[in-house]
Amino acid sequence: MGKGMRAGKKPGGGGQANMQKQMQQMQAMQRQMEEVQAELEKKEIEATAGGGAISVTVNGKKEIVSIKIKPEVVDPDDVEMLEDLVMVAANEALRQIEEISQSEMGKLTGGLSIPGLL
């Protein structure tokens, strides 16, 4: 070992430069993630239930933006069935948008699970 050098240390103080490079990479990834999130928020997914009798549309913010019910499925004597169909369609639409969100973010993070990301 040369004079003034310690074991395990690289000459030139490369640790600071390396840390700065990592911070720049993290900031770039954060910008990309924000762009992907903005694009996801613009997406809309439609799911149906009851053979198309009920249609629910959700956006990338996971908000229901539309519910369509065909008149022939409305039976005042069987409101429970109508409620079930709406619930099934809404849950499916939300599941699909979540799947798309996870897939798009997974492309950026390489499959890393980052708490609080979505």
Instruction: Give the position of tokens 């993630």.
Output: 33
CA atoms of 77 and 39, how far apart (whole Å): 43
User: Is 80 exceeded by the pLDDT of residue 7?
Assistant: no
* 11-36 mean pLDDT: 81
Residue 26 has pLDDT above 80, yes or no: yes
pLDDT per residue as tens digits for the range 48-76:
999 999 999 999 999 999 999 999 999 99
| pLDDT confidence bin for 11, thresholds 50/70/90 | low
Predicted confidence (pLDDT) at residue 116 exceeds the cutoff of 60: no
Packing angle of the helix pair 14-42, 79-109 (nearest 10 deg): 150
Pairwise CA distance, residues 92 & 49, whole Å: 9
